[in-house]
Structures are given as C-alpha cells and as structure tokens.
C-alpha cells in the first residue's frame, strides 16, 4: 500500500511539475488582444497584427497597432505597476475607428498588469481592462 501511495504521489508531483507553464515576460513578447469589452471578437481577430503590443526593455518603448494605425511611446514599469506615456500614432482613416479610440483610451487608464503563462491582463486597479495572448519573440 505504501508503494502505491508513493507512486501516486510521485506521479502527481511529476504531472504538476511538467504541466506548469512559465510566465512569459512582459518585455520581449508579442502581445495580441484577445478580449476587451468595447471591441467585438470579430474586429480583434480580423487581422493577425491588429490590436498588438510589443514592449522594448532597452528603450522602454512600447509599439503596436490598433485595427488601423501604428503607435509607439514610452512606458514606465515598476514591479507590477505599468503606465503608458504619450503615444505617437500614424493617422490613416479607416473604417471602425471607434475600436481604435477605445483601445487607445484603455491604454491611458492602465496602471498595472498581471501575467499568467501566456496570458496578459492590463489592469486599472483590480479591474481588468483588456486581455492579451502572448508569443515569445526570438532573440536577434
């Protein structure tokens, strides 16, 4: 009986250990919006690089794309605290600009973040503003 319990315990420990996913880093990961209250899923998934973020640790700059325009600007990272500075943007006219407006307004409200595995949540206090799915970017 002791051998069975020991084997079961070992199997449980090995399963828990091998199946835990390490958290992706905020910086050096390509983040794609997966959920945001004011943007429908069809708009989020319409283009692969729409509603994306990429944080560059060397320059403390974030760059990305809404559903229409590209943007870039500074960010301040301190532990789990995150704030975006003034963002510069291209100014192309596109359909559904209300989604771009919602996305950019959301970024201005962010004051924190949480990462679990490959999932990023941008926060305003305890409130989740948007959720992203991350992909590790290969080092150059």
Q: pLDDT tens string for the chain (140 positions)? A: 555 544 444 444 444 445 567 999 999 999 999 999 999 999 999 999 999 999 999 999 999 999 999 999 999 999 999 999 999 999 998 889 999 999 999 999 999 999 999 999 999 999 999 999 999 886 65
Residue with tokens 């997966």: 34
Q: Which fold has domain 23-136?
A: Lipocalin (2.40.128)
List all residues 6 or more positions away from 24 whose beta carbon is below 8 Å from its beta carbon. 115, 117, 118, 120, 134, 136
Please give the Cα distance from 49 to 25 (Å, whole number): 19
Name beta bridge partners: 27.
55
Sort strands 81-84 and 70-78 into parallel, antiparallel or unpaired: antiparallel
Task: Supply the pTM of this predicted model.
Answer: 0.83
Name beta bridge partners: 83.
76
């Amino acid at each position: 009986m002791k051998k069975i319990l020991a084997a079961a315990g070992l199997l449980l420990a090995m399963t828990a250990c091998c199946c835990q996913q390490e958290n992706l880093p905020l910086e050096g990961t390509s983040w794609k919006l997966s959920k945001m209250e004011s943007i429908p899923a069809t708009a989020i998934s319409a283009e692969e690089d729409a509603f994306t973020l990429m944080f560059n640790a060397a320059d403390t700059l974030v760059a990305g794309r809404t559903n229409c325009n590209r943007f870039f600007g500074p960010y301040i990272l301190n532990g789990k605290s995150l704030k975006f500075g003034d963002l510069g943007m291209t100014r192309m006219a596109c359909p559904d600009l209300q989604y771009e407006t919602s996305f950019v307004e959301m970024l201005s409200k962010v004051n924190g973040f949480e990462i679990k595995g490959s999932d990023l949540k941008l926060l305003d206090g305890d409130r989740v503003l948007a959720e992203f799915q991350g992909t590790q970017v290969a080092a150059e």
